[in-house]
Each structure stands twice: as C-alpha cells, then as structure tokens.
Structure 1
Amino acid sequence: MRIGGLASGMDIDQIIADMMSVRRLPLDKLTQQRQRLEWQQEDYRAINKQLFSLRESVFSLKLQGTFNVKSAFSSNEDIVQVSAGGNALNGTYKIAVKQLAEGAFKTSSAPLGSTDDYSTLSTQLEGLKGEIKFSINDQEFTVNTETESIYDLMNKINKADIGVQASYDRNLDRFFLSTTGTGENAQIEIVGGAYQSEEGEKNFFEDILNIDTGVVKGKNAEFTLNGAEFTMASNEFTINGISYSLKGLSPTGADGEPVAASVSVKSDTEKIFDTIMDFVNLYNETIDKINGKLFEKYYRDYPPLTDAMREQLDDDQIEKWMEKARSGLLRNDSMLSGIVSQMRTAIYGVVEGVSGEYNSLASIWITTGDYSERGKLHVNEDKLREAIAKDPEGIKELFTATSADGSSKNEGIASRLYNEVVAGISKVTEKAGIESDFSLVDNSVIGKRIKDMDDRIEDYEDRLKMIEDRYWRQFTAMEKAINQMNSQSMWLMQQFSMGKG
C-alpha cells in the first residue's frame, strides 16, 4: 500500500491517477481497436454459419436423388402396404396375395404339470433326472435336469444362433419354440431327447414338454404381380424399387381367383416443391443477412466503451451505446459484396444445353424483385407446382446438370451456386476463422491481428506500470525532501528560541 502526501499535504494518489489517465489514452485506443476486431470477427463468423447452412441445402439440390422422390399408394392397405424408392418406375401395378410367409412353430399341446419349485428341471417336472441330450437344427445340446432350470434351457437355445427362439409362459405352463425368420427354409427339427424314467424310456420333448419331435417348416409368401407368379421367403421385399409389405390375403372373386390390389407409383411433386421452397427461403435469409451487414449504419462517434466510460453510464445507456458501437462494422465490405455478387450471378444465369424448356429460375417462375430488395427471390407457387408436375425431369436437369467440358454455362444452378458458396466460405474463413473446440490457434487474418494487438496491449501495460512506479518514486523522493526540510526548519526554530532565552 502506498500512502502519499503526509509531508506535502498533496493528494498524491489523485495526482498520479490523473497523470496515468493521460498516459492510458493510447492503451484505451488499442483496447477499443481490439474490441472492434473481435466484433468484426463475430459478425463474419455469423455470416459463415449462415453460408454453411446454405451450402448443405444447395448440396442436396445437386443430387439427382433429391428429385427422384416417388410416392406409392395401395388401394387396399389391409392386403399390401407400399413405398417407393427413387429408381421406381411411375405406373400402376396389380398384386394378388395367395399366401403370407410364415415361420415354423412348436408349442406345448397341454400344460406341463409344473410344481411351484422352478429352481431346476427335476424339481419343476416330476420324474426327470440326469442328463438329456438332443439336437435342434443339427445343433447339439446337453441339459442337466438336476442343476439347470427351464430358463437355463431357454437361454441355451436362444444363444445358439440356430434361427430358433424358445420361451416359457409360467401362467400357461407351456413351452414355445418358433423360428426367427419366415419362409420354407425356416424350420425346427428336433432329434433325440430320450431319458430313462421309472416307467422306462421316455422322450423329454414329447412326454414332458408335450411337443412333437421331427421337422416343421415355415411357408413362403405366394402372390402374383402383374400376372406373374412369385414366391418370397418374407412378407417384406423390394421389386424394381418398390418396397412391399404383405399384410393379408386377397379376397376371392366370383371366378374363384384372388382379387388384385392396385399399387400406384408417381413422382412426389409436392416433396420436390417443398425442397425448392426450403432452398429459396434459406437463400433469401442468407442474402438478407449479408446485405443487412453491408448496409448497416456505422456510428463513428460511438467507439467501444472503456471501463472509465462505463462508470459514467447506467445499464440502459450502456446497452444503447453498445448497439450503436457494434453497428456497421462490415458496412460496404468488399469481400462480402463480392460473395453476394457471385452468388447472384450463379443463380440468375441461363443453363445452356438442357433438353427441356426449363433453362433458368425465371422459366420455373422464380424471379427477383426490384433493385431495393438486393437479389431476394420471389416464387409464384402455383406456377412452380405446375412446372414440376409438367416436367419433373426438366426441373431435375435445371438444378443438377453437369458440364462435360468444365464450362459453368452448362452446369446446373445448384452446381454453380454450390461452388460460389464454398468459395465464399473459404474467403470468410481465411479472414475471420471459424469457431472450433479442436483448435486453440486462430491463423485467420483477423485472428493474427487480434494476437498482435494483445501483444501490443501487454507491452503497453508493462510500460504503464513502469511509468507509474517512476511517478511514485519521484513523489516519494519529493515527500522525503519536504520532510527533511520540515525537520531542518523545526530545528532552526528551536535554536532561535533557545538563543532568545
């Protein structure tokens, strides 16, 4: 703690504080410049985040699969349910289901007669003892009835990976076996299971579990598709891009034949419309965000607040000041202006070499407004729907066309715009970097300037400390001198007083 002015009676603390406040002016300017750079960086990164979102939307428009969306409908969903992939052909198909695919099952024909003690098979089922050997689907099993329970038996079967699952219902007191799949290749084949009882040789499955041994097989699904006969091991299958899910048997007609259900496949024009509209909305949002920064008013008389300035304002005044101080930091930014210009050029141009009549956004009723809107897109939704319904392939080509010779004139709109958005992201990233948890070093242009500014601020703060220390040494020396002079003055006065006496 420094206490000054005891000898001089001067407020040394305040004097040095006033002197240092003048010395701190260059530091305050450096700090304000650094704050402006940080705000600029944040604004650039916010725009880059918007460009990243637009890039993802445009990328999906480059893919033909985005436009190859199909919808499928069944005339009787109690018989068959359908969905269509992008490679499904538009049209109407007839399907009649004669038999559903089934798995194989074996179930206890009667309760097992279990006791209340389920700890082992021998305590649960009277008359069992020793080991029982058997096989299911050629997988051999050994069960010790005196140490293993019916639940141990279940687990052994279920873990054997033989396409069979076992279960036991204590309430029904019955044992169940079923295949995990369907079709005629799904089977349950039980061999063995003999054991000795007091009454002679018996079979564990037939005499205890009340399940027949031997083989039981599943069934294939049988159906006709457009008059052709088919069999499938499952009720779920795909043919020519159409996924079928059989749910029931077709009713029988007057001629004794099953009545076919109709399956209709067509292009999902509404989904294509929604995809294009989502892109337009995101493009407009991006353009508005960038233009908002380009034409935002700059308030030269509102620099970032220093600590001293904050002390003189209330919270509401600080908030209003900060709003103006942050405004217009990217006004008329040449890099952002160039990005917007390149995006607008890419999206408005004519696509040469397309086979249909749709060769520009304007041809599908996506246009721009007047100059004051600065490139915002407008859509005649009814006309766009008509264009998609009329020629979905032409719409796809307009967005996804590729150039054999590398010329942008033959590239689809999405391909052109994607390249410009990626280039814009690269420029903004080079200028301001990106927010990342994986990198502690910011090598962007602004990042390096902020680092340089931090070094300058640190050096200047060290200089200020040295200056302040020097001031204190000087005033301390002054205080000592004044104190010495006061002591000498008092001694002289004492001497004079003694001489007069």
Structure 2
Amino acid sequence: GIIEASMIRDKEKVNKAKQDQQIVKWKQEIYRDIIKESKNLYDKYLNGDSPNSITNKKAYSATRITSSDESIIVAKGSAGAEKINYQFAVSQMAEPAKVTIKLNSSDPIVQQFPPNASGASSLNIGGVNIPISEQDTTSTIVSKINSLCADNDIRASYSEMTGELIISRKQTGSSSDIDLKVIGNDSLAGQIASDNGITFTTDASGTKSAVVYGKNLEADVTDDQGRVTHISKEQNSFKIDNIDYNVNSKGSAKLVSVTDTEEATKNMKAFVDDYNALMDKVYGLVTTKKSKDYPPLTDEQKDDMTTEEIEKWEKKAKEGILRNDDELRAFVEDIQSMFFGDADTIIALRKLGISEHENYNKKGQISFNADTFSKALIDDSDKVYKALAGYSSNYDDKGMFEKLKKIVFEYSGSSASKLTKKAGMENSSSASQNVYSKQIAEQERNISRLVEKMNDKEKRLYAKYSALESL
C-alpha cells in the first residue's frame, strides 16, 4: 500500500502525458477527415474532367437535344451551343480498314489453301511478315497476327457464326488502311480477292499485293430551312459547334434542341449540398466549446467500461478540441470572403441564385435558389458560365468556382497544402512529415521517459522496503 501511494503522482504524470498525446492523435484524425472530404469535393466538382464538374462549360448547358431515333444518332450540347433542328440521313458508318477470309476453324490453313510449288507461304500485314506453317489453324494464325502486329494498331479475330477470319485496324475512316501481301499462296490470295472485292497486283516474284481502306461516315444533314449539308467524318463520334454527336447506325433521325436546365440545376444543387456539409463540419469544429468533464480515458478507466460506453465518452471527449484552430478558421474565412467579401460580387451572385446563408452560424455556406439559377441559364448560359467558372490567369478575373478551386487546393490539394502540412495525408510523403506526427513522436519519447522514471522509482522503493523488512 505504501509503495502504491508513493507512486500515485508518477502514474498521474504518465496518464496526463498519454491523454495529451491522445488529443493530438484525435486532432490529426479529424484534420485528415477534413483533408479527405475537401479533396473529394475538389475531385468531384472542381476538376474539369469530372462528369459532375462545375468548372466545365458543359455544366452550364441550358438545352438538351432529343433524337427521334437514338439507335441511329444521339447528340449532347455544351454551354454556348446554338439550338438545332436537323434531319440526319446516315448513308455510311465510319469503318476501319478490314479484310475477311472464309475459313473453317478446325483444318490447317494449308489444307484448305495449298501453297504454291515453293511450299512456303505467308501473309504480310502492314510490313509485318506472318509465316503460315503446316500446323497453323485459324486460332493459331489469329494469335500470331495479334502478337506480331500489336504495335501496328491491327487485330485479328475469328467468327464461328460467319466462318470468317477478320483482320482489321482499330482506327476508322478513309485514312485507315491495311497494306496486305500474300506470298507463295495463290489459292489463298484468290479467296481473299473474291471475299473482299479487291484486285491484287503481282510482282516478278509472284507476291500478290493490295491496299484496303476504311470508310468515312457519310451523312446528309438538312436544317429547318431545308438547306442540305453533306458531312464526311473519320469517326462515328465527332464534335461540331459545341455539340457532340454519336452515330450508332445507318438510317434517318431528327435532332431537335429543347430548353432543359434540369440536369445543370440538379448538379449545382448537389454541389451546394456537399459544399455546405463540408463548411458546416469545419465551422462546427472551430466554434464548438470543449467540455472539461470528458478528458481522454486512461487504460484503467477503459478496463471498467463497455465498448459502447467508451465510444460515447470519446465522442464527447473529441468535441471542441479544435475550437478556434487557426488553419481551419482561415479555411472557412478565406472562402467566405471570396464569395461574399464585396457588395458587387454579392449582387452578381444573387442574380445567379447564389447568396450568403441567412443563418450567421452557417458561415461560408451558400443558399441556392434553383429557380433563379435555372432562369439565368435560360437567359444567357454563357454569362453564367463566365461568372462562375470562367478561367483567367489573373485571379480577380477568374469565375467564382475557379477561385474556390484555388483555395481548396491551397488548403488540401497537395503535401505542401496548409492543412496537409499540419496533419499529413495517409499513403503520401507527408504521412509522417507534418506538425502533428512530429508532436506525437515527441510525446511518445516523453511518455517513454516518464514510464522509465516511474519504473526505476518503483524498483528503488521495493528494494528499500525489502531491506527494511529484512532487518
């Protein structure tokens, strides 16, 4: 009892050091959560390549293009696209250069098409020689072509349905070609010529040569004035006047623009909800008061509690540990002043359905009026795009979301960002090179020193009392 009583102060020191360290670990955890959520917001809405991007012109489209037959053609306009009313008549799809050869799949090729007297035959495709051995069947020749021609954008396959070996380029259009030579096998060359309607030339050595070309997409487009424009495209997907077209088959279909801001408005609302949730969380962290009644638990206290009790306690213990944190407060305030820092900006944004949240406790948050936003898009979608997402190398001329993108990146986008310098990101170079990790490591060394000191004292006391008892 005497020794335990003598050790109380030392144990308290160790527990206090462990509690202090636990608070820093929690701070780091919370910080990393905020970094992760900021990065998610950035990747989903502020990265121009994301389908949900609000910095991309497509996010401000006020029209939708309907097709009378989507199996023939579909189209999607981006911001700035004029309204259309077109009749598309597609007479030819874009196709790659292609050669087909009727073969049965089981017998060796040389049994179906015996070589010339020399005995050796081969195909030369795009300058690559493919020897045909006595054992080669369709499956082995397909493998040979695909491995030897892999760098040439050429692939081979066999269709059991049609009984055809198909050699084709990946690229479509009239500039796609296959330079084909048949060496030492006139019967195979004859089959290829009749299957594909091509004429071979023959050189002095008897080699048969031909070039097979792909086809362009060919279509006649009639506008609502009855004017006809012929288009010829290398691919079945193409862009004209800010409209992306995808042609799926031959035939006729009508494309008409209709006013529709639903998709753009829905995406903007989703962004505002996710953005507000992040601001709410960060501002909550810097304003929540700390409860003095819930310090981190010691190991002894945890031993006497259930898992559920520990979780409830720790939830309370984490509250308010980042109250008035400098970096988190600055994060909210930088965004708040960027959006609502001057009267002109406030007025301009209000016309687009974006205003400061009326509740003062929701600092940094946005109130979004979907009807006002939708109407602004219908009136002038280009103007909305420029105000919110227009890019400029000059910061003051950037759209609001381009400015937001810059701030979010400065705080959480890389290992040199303000929040990351403080807490680090997992699985990155900053994971241990940050303020909190260094602090935790220093505290760990301090705890070890205190524990060592306590153990030494305990040993000394036991030795002292053992000596007294033996007298």
Task: State the 1:471 CA deviation.
Answer: 0.8
Output one character per residue of 1:285-332: Cα deviation in whole Å (capped at 9) or x when no partner: 012112322333422132222233334545554444333322221234
Task: State the 1:463 CA deviation.
Answer: 1.4
Aligned pair in 2 of structure 1 residues 192, 85: CA closer, same or farther (>3 Å)?
farther
Any residues of structure 2 matched to 1:314-463 within 5 Å, and which? 314-349=306-341, 360-367=348-355, 368-401=357-390, 406=395, 408=396, 410-425=397-412, 426-439=417-430, 441-444=432-435, 446-463=436-453
Output one character per residue of 1:12-52: Cα deviation in whole Å (capped at 9) or x when no partner: xx432332233322222222222222222222332333333
Aligned pair in 2 of structure 1 residues 74, 461: CA closer, same or farther (>3 Å)?
same
| Cα contact 2:290–2:321 (8 A) shared by 1 | yes
Aligned pair in 2 of structure 1 residues 350, 404: CA closer, same or farther (>3 Å)?
farther
Output one character per residue of 1:73-127: Cα deviation in whole Å (capped at 9) or x when no partner: 333335433344567544333433344456666555xx98x9xx835734x6799
Q: Distance in 2 between matches of 1:75 and 1:97?
A: 14
In structure 1, runs of 5+ residues without a counterpart are: 1-13, 196-202, 251-260, 482-501
Aligned pair in 2 of structure 1 residues 20, 87: CA closer, same or farther (>3 Å)?
same
| Cα contact 1:193–1:205 (8 A) shared by 2 | no
SS in 2 for 1:273: helix
Output one character per residue of 1:238-266: Cα deviation in whole Å (capped at 9) or x when no partner: 4444334151234xxxxxxxxxx433357
Task: State the 1:273 CA deviation.
Answer: 1.7
Any residues of structure 2 matched to 1:60-459 within 5 Å, and which? 60=48, 63-67=55-59, 69=61, 71-84=64-77, 88-100=81-93, 108=102, 118=107, 121-122=110-111, 131=119, 133=121, 143-145=132-134, 147-149=135-137, 151-152=139-140, 159=148, 165=156, 167=158, 169=160, 176=165, 179-180=168-169, 203-204=187-188, 206=190, 214=199, 220-226=216-222, 227-232=228-233, 235-241=236-242, 242-245=244-247, 247-250=249-252, 261-265=253-257, 269-349=261-341, 360-367=348-355, 368-401=357-390, 406=395, 408=396, 410-425=397-412, 426-439=417-430, 441-444=432-435, 446-459=436-449
| Cα contact 1:135–1:192 (8 A) shared by 2 | yes
SS in 2 for 1:360: helix
Aligned pair in 2 of structure 1 residues 236, 292: CA closer, same or farther (>3 Å)?
closer
Correspondent of 2:39 among 52, 69, 72:
52
In structure 2, runs of 5+ residues without a counterpart are: 201-211, 223-227
1:467 is aligned to 2:457: yes
Q: Distance in 2 between matches of 1:213 and 1:401?
A: 54
Which sits farther off after the overlay, 153-162 or 417-426? 153-162
Aligned pair in 2 of structure 1 residues 156, 361: CA closer, same or farther (>3 Å)?
same
| Cα contact 1:344–1:375 (8 A) shared by 2 | yes
Correspondent of 2:13 among 26, 30, 42:
26
| Cα contact 1:32–1:305 (8 A) shared by 2 | yes
SS in 2 for 1:96: strand
Name the structure 2 match of 1:199.
none
Output one character per residue of 1:336-391: Cα deviation in whole Å (capped at 9) or x when no partner: 33332332221124585x9xxx9533222333223344454322222321222222
Q: Distance in 2 between matches of 1:231 and 1:22?
A: 88
Q: Distance in 2 between matches of 1:319 and 1:35?
A: 14
Q: Distance in 1 between matches of 2:418 and 2:191?
A: 81
Aligned pair in 2 of structure 1 residues 183, 428: CA closer, same or farther (>3 Å)?
closer
Task: State the 1:150 CA deviation.
Answer: 5.3
Q: Distance in 1 between matches of 2:193 and 2:122?
A: 13
Task: State the 1:231 CA deviation.
Answer: 3.7
| Cα contact 1:164–1:188 (8 A) shared by 2 | no
Question: TM-score, normalised on structure 1?
Answer: 0.70
Aligned pair in 2 of structure 1 residues 93, 134: CA closer, same or farther (>3 Å)?
same
| Cα contact 1:191–1:214 (8 A) shared by 2 | no
Aligned pair in 2 of structure 1 residues 324, 389: CA closer, same or farther (>3 Å)?
same
Output one character per residue of 1:257-287: Cα deviation in whole Å (capped at 9) or x when no partner: xxxx433357863333233212211221012
Number of residue pairs aligned between Structure 1 and Structure 2:
435
What is the letter of the counterpart of residue 214 of structure 1? T
Q: Distance in 2 between matches of 1:324 and 1:66?
A: 45
Which sits farther off after the overlay, 27-36 or 126-135? 126-135
Question: TM-score, normalised on structure 2?
Answer: 0.74
SS in 2 for 1:298: coil
Q: CA RMSD in A?
A: 4.2
Q: Distance in 2 between matches of 1:419 and 1:208?
A: 60
Percent identical pairs in the alignment equals: 24
Task: State the 1:467 CA deviation.
Answer: 1.1
| Cα contact 1:130–1:144 (8 A) shared by 2 | no
Q: Distance in 1 between matches of 2:411 and 2:21?
A: 25
Aligned pair in 2 of structure 1 residues 279, 206: CA closer, same or farther (>3 Å)?
closer
| Cα contact 1:79–1:247 (8 A) shared by 2 | yes
| Cα contact 1:189–1:213 (8 A) shared by 2 | no
Q: Distance in 1 between matches of 2:92 and 2:79?
A: 29
Bigger radius of gyration: 1
Correspondent of 1:36 among 16, 20, 23:
23
